[in-house]
Amino acid sequence: MQFKQLTLVDNVGVGIEIVGDLAALVVRDLSFGHHIRDKVLILDWKRGIVRAELYTNSRRYQSAIFLTPDIVLVTNAHERCLEIWRIPAINETATMPFICGTPELSLAMPAIHPGFVVSEFACRGAPNPALTIPNTSRPFHSSATTAILVFHLTISPIDPRVPIPFIFFAHRKTFLDLLATAAAGKELSNSNESLNPLSPTSNTIPVLAPPIPWSAWGRPVTRWLHARNIPTEWITSTSGQRFAFVSTHAPALPQPIVVLDFNEHHVKKVTADQKNDLPPYHGAFTPSKVLRESQTQTGHTGNVTNTTNTTASIAIESIDDSQRKLWRRVWLETVPDAYAKMAVFREEVGGHLPYVAVKSEKLYDFHGVLMDDERIIGIKRNRVLSGVESIEVIHMG
């Protein structure tokens, strides 16, 4: 398919997400001061048509992600907000593309101090929503609805020489719930207006509502990290409710791989294990099974003779030591983000979304890592050229 974009090719930035028959194509004009040309094109790629163009009057777009096969979320750096758009249904009699200028919902980011701007604002999540369940032999597939989305937000002084990178996370379901709540409120408002003979008619042009303030939606459902030591150039760093990274101190200084798990059931499980003085993920994964087998063998031999009692006590001490080592590699994060680390913001960020963090026992000299449901892929760059020199696949099972 072909279409025309009134921007010089050298100044065009493009991002794309595909779900089913639709593709969300983010077209950016990289020329200074010309972001008014930015737009999101919804392409029906099988039919070779542009179904819709999405854009507001004030925007600087960088990326879009599908929340469902017919709803997209777009990052707007200029307005420092997230826009949620509903893709119009196909209409054989209507002229396409549909020009859409009003998102269903806008969600504001935390307010920043004067003298700072949002220079980069991108998002990513995996898997994307699908109309059908993947037909594979794998016993487990991450849910797109409960998957986390990772947002890369870079804040710079107006003289952007020292950018300040942040990463924040939220579940895809969070945005769908917010959209459903807003839609319910809108239906109630429309119902009340229909009873008022002085209310505007349904032919009134939709007005862009102000974004919902950060304090009204963001604090309980997000988690923020300062990304100074977290690589942000690798986009496939999430799978389901997990996010993997290796510190930017590698490869010069080998680092462990760290996986953040935002699954609320895992958070509750590990919280209970910690409270009950048990190994993390007790009874669920291999480390706990190994410990349980050791405990069983110790119990079996513990009451034979004094010599065996001594052996049993040594084994118990060994178990306790193993448990302590596990807890040194697994920790819970449940307290709100520290405001002191977010000094560019002029309101409380306060991300409360809890997670379990697990770091690898082995250290790696990767430049970055990617992940899916089964594997973590370590990447090493070529020291001379800019490409990838080698990869290492770590199977998680």
From the list 207, 236, 234, 19, the residue with the least C-alpha distance to 128 is 19
DSSP-assigned states of every residue in 116-168: EEEEEEEEEESSPP-SS---SS-S----TTT-EEEEEEEEEESS-SS-EEEEE
Ranges under pLDDT 50 in the chain: 199-205, 286-319
Who's near 215: CB < 8 A, 6+ residues apart?
347, 348
Residue 374 structure tokens: 């089964």
CA 25 – CA 239 distance, rounded (Å) = 22
Cβ atoms of residues 148 and 125 within 8 Å: yes
The answer to whether the CB of 17 falls within 8 A of the CB of 24 is yes
Cα–Cα distance measured from residue 58 to residue 292, given in angstroms and rounded to the nearest whole number: 59
Q: Which residue has the tokens 């696949």?
A: 393
pLDDT of residue 197: 52
Pairing of strands 22-29, 39-44: antiparallel
> Token match 């590698």: residue?
250
pLDDT at 373: 87
- Separation in Å, CA 198 to CA 186, 187, 192, 202: 18, 18, 11, 12
| Cβ burial, residue 365 (10 Å; 0-12/13-18/19+) | middle
Say how far apart CA 235 and CA 245 lie, in whole Å: 11
Q: In the prediction, which pLDDT does 71 show?
A: 96
- Asked whether the beta carbons of 14 and 25 are under 8 A apart, the reply is yes
pTM above 0.95, yes or no: no
> How confident is the model at residue 162, as a pLDDT?
78
Total H helices, total E strands in the chain:
5, 21
